[in-house]
Chains A and B, each alone.
Chain A
Amino acid sequence: MKWLTSLLTSSIGRKLIMALTGLFLCSFLVIHLIGNLQLLVDDGGVAFNDYAYFMTHFLPIKIVSYGLYAGIILHSIMGIALWLQNRKKKGVGYKGGKAQGSWASKNMGLLGTLILAFIFIHMGDFWFKMKFTDTLKMVSSEALGHDVKDLYKRVSIAFENPLIVIAYVIGQLVLAFHLWHGFASGFVTLGINNKKYTPIIETIGRVFAIVVPVGFVIIPILHYLGISF
């Protein structure tokens, strides 16, 4: 097992952990987005509430969700640790000018910390209330044949508040910058970087960094404006 611990504690190994957890979290974003787009369906929340019930009660998904929490925690702790350590290892910065490289790539620690703060607010508002409190009303679900918690209502109330909508817009902007660097960077870390694949991966990364946050952000905005389809 020594080989494994020495691998995972080395500089490259810690990059590997960041890349694997990061790309895993990217895959989650896609699933989360697809599910959330049901919030835009004009059915009073029936489809979304059924979906929310399914996501919190279906065993395989429950298991994956624990992996997801672990992924978020690992990515955050490791990221913050690396950020602090790298600042120490760099020591003094330059007075004569700024370092080369994209703004996003040089501020991943800051962006990541903001995303973590966003996740806390976001989960506290919905996930926590749904799982651990009785503040959500019950509504009957025809498809499931029993009552489910009305998460849709909670979401609607939240997105009536312009401050919450603005917080979500900022949160997604930060996420976009984080993905702008993070997606392609993860692949470089895995060793996938050459003339053939890099341009494709970079393009996918850039598209991903725009499409996913935009997809998320239209939900609160359209809700606030009262538009659904």
Chain B
Amino acid sequence: MKAILEEEQRLVVEVAERMAGNGLQNAQRLLSGAPWPEYPDHDLMANWQGLAIGEADGGSGGRLVDLALLIRTLSIRLTPCRYIDHVIALQAAFGAGLPIDFKVADEGQWCLAVAEPRTPPFGPFACRLSNNRIDGTKTGVPFGNRAEIAIIALEDNRIALAKPSESILSDSADPLAEYACLTFNGSAAEHVSDNANGGLLRATVLIAAELCGVAQGAVDNGSAYAKERAQFGQPIGSYQGVAHQLAEAQVATETAWSLTLYACWAIDSGNSDAQKAVHAAKAKASEAAVFSSERALQVHGGIGMTWESTPHLYLKRAITRAAVLGGTHWHRQQLGSALLSKISSVS
């Protein structure tokens, strides 16, 4: 047992911090109409898309924890990048055992298409596969509008790689992200695996890592303001009504991060409680991100309600990502059931 970051992992964080550097400024610029910034997407796509995929499978090696660290660090500053959703799609493919052609991955955006209206987050899904052709519709697909390739979850725990027939950009509560509705009309399934669950677990834990970053970023943002803003002749952070909210958010954030780190490790090492660990991580990370960003907004007072301010960007990222691949409520229920079945199998 040695649950501390290793040398390479500290390096990943350092590099990610450098890439995240101007994240918030880029985000604000994007909001005022600037085009998508090339940096750091360009570097991330060039150097980091093979992370946490074994060299034998064409990746560049490293552990799932490394990728979680990278994604968390980028998300602390809300760094606008499409890399996160791209790499999550790759990871879903890898986790499901689909072969990945990195030459194809180099060329354009991939997306992970899972959600269907009124369907539980991990299925059973209505999207069908017959004669190697895919039919159905997926909603809320991150950057699905830009993707050439979709990793699509299908009926009977299958998952495939295919090209969508059509994509329609949805409205997005998060102004820094794009979501689309994808239709598949007899699209050819290029590869199929019957372990969708394995892919969804990897993807979900990475969304949890992102939410941990969002939560931490929100707490940091709220704390910075609480030090700076004074009322009644003192920094508002000196009032416990303010300080305790932020401290609570920090505790929630740390809770989620512990669970996320463990879930990454459990998946990587094929541990039998990986599934349970992912449910715990996603439940708590969604909760922490929404709670922390609500608190950050609250401690800003009136200015937090303005479009030009920062807290709402965290809040909007939190509330949308909390809904991707299952919300708090659903993951808690899965975790509760897992606990019960563990107890009944013991007794």
Q: Do A and B bind each other?
A: no
Binding site for B on A (CB under 8 A): none
Binding site for A on B (CB under 8 A): none
